[in-house]
Structure 1
Amino acid sequence: MKSTHPPLLEIRNLKVHFPIKEGFIIQRQVGTIKAVDGVNLIVHPGETLGLVGESGSGKTTVGRAVLKLEEATEGNILLEGKDITGLSGTALREGRRRLGMVFQDPFGSLNPRMSAG
């Protein structure tokens, strides 16, 4: 049976690229690091998502882009069907209240006396 509710989180073609710069006083861009290049995923209500991969594969960058702690180069992030990609200020703070991220050291990030999920 299909749900009439939109996905809780949907990421469409997310790209996060960082410039490689050269020079100290006068800097110029000499290349680009593609930290995240075309990620698509959907998380429905009640589902749990874990991003798993090698060190440096972009897991944290995806999470930081979803939380808008890192600027996406391209793509869209939808929270409950609403595009939050361009949010800022109060609207961004409202959206962040619905999101959370467990960083790479779960034992340092989670308090066993608190519930998650």
Structure 2
Amino acid sequence: MQTYYYVLASQKFLMEEEPLEEVFRERIRDYHEKEKEIDFWQVPQPAFLEAPELASIKVKCPQPAAAIISTNSHFITWLKLRLEFVATGEFQAPSDTIPQPLASLAPSSTQDS
């Protein structure tokens, strides 16, 4: 199992109001230069929130929610400091309650990186 870290906020805040495109573009450029594999994803309506162990987190977040998920805890900590008004956490996957860590409940969605 892998540990995934996340920042979570309303979809409107995380995908519309916050100018994250430049952050992602710069990080992707840096990763390519270092020949490092991408380890973060933007997920609208993340399915991991349906896991029973995350029910208390889901009720605190305005819906529909969005998440930035990463295997890099330092990146998530940095995002938390930059964004301020987001929830953070972690989960283990794949598991019985979270079979696909990057899955989205949004219709016809794709994960952006």
Normalized against structure 2, the TM-score is what? 0.27
More strand by share: 1
Structure (1/2) with the larger helix percentage: 2
- TM-score, normalised to structure 1, is 0.27
